[in-house]
Chain A
Amino acid sequence: ELKVEQNPLFLSMQEGKNYTIYCNYSTTSDRLYWYRQDPGKSLESLFVLLSNGAVKQEGRLMASLDTKARLSTLHITAAVHDLSATYFCAVDTETSGSRLTFGEGTQLTVNP
């Protein structure tokens, strides 16, 4: 059974600081996704990573994928309050029929 684990689950950081969220998964993956969810809202697609060594960046967020280590990271640079949200990684494999298996989510709070 595919398992996806994120850490930390809760992250409180100051504006201007850098930090990394980690996502480990247990079996070979075809695609890894990062989503953002604001409280009571839907999930917003941030990145999709398709191959080993893939790196994608959007603003202050950068995601990378190491398929050999079965690890993805979401790096936050110079955090701002607007980044406060819950971030989920999710894994999709062909054998799972394209269903997404989500991590527990990392609740990020950026304090002024």
Chain B
Amino acid sequence: DSGVTQTPKHLITATGQRVTLRCSPRSGDLSVYWYQQSLDQGLQFLIQYYNGEERAKGNILERFSAQQFPDLHSELNLSSLELGDSALYFCASSVGPSETQYFGPGTRLLVL
């Protein structure tokens, strides 16, 4: 158990819908990262926050957005969902940038 929690574990929804994935980092970690894992794209970095501020952005679609709240938990919002958004979404956290990232259990999203 890495100490990073994610909810929900599984999510099944329909195309066009919007979902919110939630992540609580390890105690004391200020950085939160979001990654997407799919069979065709592998593990891809989406976005990083540090102490509430966006720090780096990867291949994140415009339909996706995220934020980190004052209590350091983070949410990833996915809207206008498409079949291709079906994937495992991981949150990771670290004490600071460029420190070892610890991954949560992931949220498995299935878009039908």
Q: Which residues of A lie under 8 Å from residue B102 when comparing CB positions? A: 45
Taking a contact as CB atoms under 8 Å apart, the answer to whether B105 and A42 are in contact is yes
A111 at the interface (CB under 8 A from B): no
Within 8 A of B (CB), among A87-112: 88, 90, 92, 94, 96-102, 104-105
Interface of chain B: mostly helix, strand, loop or mixed: strand
Taking a contact as CB atoms under 8 Å apart, the answer to whether A41 and B33 are in contact is no
Q: Which residues of A lie under 8 Å from residue B25 when comparing CB positions? A: none
In the complex the two chains form, what is the Cα distance from A37 to B58 in whole Å? 22
Q: Which residues of B lie under 8 Å from residue A97 when comparing CB positions? A: 48, 55-56, 97
Q: Closest Cβ of chain A: how far from B92's Cβ, in Å?
A: 8
Beyond A42-B2, A42-B105, A43-B90, is A99–B100 a contact (Cβ under 8 Å)?
Answer: no
Contact partner, A101, options B31, B45, B90, Cβ 8 Å: B45
Beyond A98-B55, A100-B45, is A41–B105 a contact (Cβ under 8 Å)?
Answer: yes
In the complex the two chains form, what is the Cα distance from A42 to B45 in whole Å? 15
B101 at the interface (CB under 8 A from A): yes
Identify the closest chain A residue to B88 (Cβ): A40
Which bucket holds chain B's interface residue count?
20 to 34
A33 at the interface (CB under 8 A from B): yes
Taking a contact as CB atoms under 8 Å apart, the answer to whether B31 and A98 are in contact is yes
B14 at the interface (CB under 8 A from A): no
Beyond A42-B103, A43-B90, is A94–B98 a contact (Cβ under 8 Å)?
Answer: yes
Identify the closest chain A residue to B94 (Cβ): A98
Q: Closest Cβ of chain A: how far from B87's Cβ, in Å?
A: 13
Beyond A42-B90, A43-B90, A105-B42, is A98–B105 a contact (Cβ under 8 Å)?
Answer: no
Binding site for B on A (CB under 8 A): 30-31, 33, 35, 41-45, 48, 88, 90, 92, 94, 96-102, 104-105
